[in-house]
Amino acid sequence: MRADIRGITPELIQAKRRIGQRMVAVYLGVYALFVMVHVFFPAVPAIPCGGVSAGLVGGVALMLFAVLMALTYHVLCTRVEKRLTRTQNT
């Protein structure tokens, strides 16, 4: 079914696209760092940390970071939508 696209302007599309691209770059950067530490410094995730391993702490932190980024994205997009969406009446 066609989406409800009332009030969606090219400006709004561009703005949200930019937000998305920046956020994906940040997250993938952190993810890539996590992966590369495991590949090139395998001793680091094994370091004891808080009664478990640094790798486990890092992995859980990365997952929580993912949820945080998702919520941040929503806040930023909602803000931009309020600012740029034209309603049918204006």
Residues that bind another protein (CB under 8 A): 1-5, 8, 13, 16-17, 19-21, 23-24, 27-28, 31, 34-35, 38-39, 42-43, 45-46, 48, 50-53, 55-56, 59-60, 62-64, 66-67, 69-71, 73-74, 77-78, 81
* Phi, psi dihedrals of residue 51, rounded to the nearest 5°: 85, -5
Percent of the chain that is helix, strand, coil (3-state, to 5) = 70, 5, 25
Query: C-alpha angle with apex 66: 43 to 69, nearest 5 degrees?
Result: 130
CB nearer to another protein: give 50 or 89. Answer: 50
Least distance from C-beta 90 to another protein, angstroms?
18
CB nearer to another protein: give 67 or 89. Answer: 67
**Dihedral, 84, 85, 87, 90 alpha carbons, nearest 10:** 20
Least distance from C-beta 15 to another protein, angstroms?
12
